[in-house]
């Protein structure tokens, strides 16, 4: 039996999809996977707003890099001046994620080789950092999304506090924090002066 790993489907994380479940992008549940060479048009309405992400929902394909940021603009709890965009946090494995999965089935959770911010980090002098430019006196908005396969992140900015404004499409009473624990799939609005 040979199982093709090159089919796909795309899931829009966090969308409730009222009366629209056929476009949720879960293969085997709401649609057949898209075969190689095929295409599919998703028609989705943004009934809620906030930062989120989209990813392939076919086997472990999103661990191979099939992820991206998705932003639904809407009212925010507090004002801000500069949008620094989405910050995708993820764990990173140098080997194929499918090999990692076979190791994990017998040997338990595998240690990731690196962690990435917006798909960038350094290792042994190679690679580069993601850079964000802050302007003094202005209020900046960052949206943090954890797109990891198997990792919980604690997000912090050295020697700075920030205000958490929302979580998973839900505006919340803002609170001041210096470390934000963020689990897989969740997204947070934060801003800081």
Q: Interface with other proteins by CB under 8 A: which range of 83-91, 100-108, 131-139, 183-191?
A: 83-91
Judged by CB under 8 A, does residue 43 bind other proteins?
A: yes
Name which position in 28, 47, 103, 160 contacts other proteins (CB under 8 A): 47
CA distance 139 to 170: 21
Of residues 108-137, those binding other proteins (CB under 8 A): 113-114, 116, 118-127
Nearer to other proteins, 110 or 121 (CB): 121
Alpha carbon of 170 to those of 23, 51, 174, 178, 186: distances in Å?
22, 10, 11, 20, 11
Judged by CB under 8 A, does residue 92 bind other proteins?
A: yes
Judged by CB under 8 A, does residue 37 bind other proteins?
A: yes
Judged by CB under 8 A, does residue 56 bind other proteins?
A: yes
Work out the burial of residue 62: count CB atoms within 10 Å of its CB; fewer than 13 is exposed, 13-18 middle, 19 or more buried: buried
Judged by CB under 8 A, does residue 161 bind other proteins?
A: no
Judged by CB under 8 A, does residue 71 bind other proteins?
A: yes
Q: Which residues on adjacent β-strands are paired with residue 164?
A: 175, 190
Do residues 13 and 55 make contact, with C-beta atoms less than 8 angstroms apart? yes
């Amino acid at each position: 039996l040979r199982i093709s790993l090159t089919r796909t489907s795309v899931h829009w994380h966090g969308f409730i999809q009222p009366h629209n479940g056929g476009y949720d992008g879960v293969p085997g549940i709401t649609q057949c996977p898209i075969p190689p060479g095929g295409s599919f048009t998703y028609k989705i309405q943004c009934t809620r707003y906030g930062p989120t992400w989209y990813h392939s929902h076919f086997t472990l394909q999103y661990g191979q890099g099939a992820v991206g940021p998705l932003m639904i603009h809407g009212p925010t709890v507090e004002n801000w001046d500069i949008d620094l965009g989405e910050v995708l946090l993820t764990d990173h494995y140098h080997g194929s994620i499918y090999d990692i999965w076979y190791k994990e089935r017998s040997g338990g959770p595998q240690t990731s080789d690196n962690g990435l911010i917006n798909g960038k980090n350094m290792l042994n002098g190679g690679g580069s950092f993601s850079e964000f430019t802050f302007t003094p006196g202005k209020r900046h908005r960052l949206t943090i999304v954890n797109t990891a396969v198997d990792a919980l992140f604690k997000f912090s900015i050295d020697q700075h506090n920030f205000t958490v404004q929302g979580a998973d499409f839900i505006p919340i009473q803002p609170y001041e924090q210096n470390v934000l624990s963020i689990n897989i799939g969740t997204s947070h609005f934060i801003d800081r002066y």
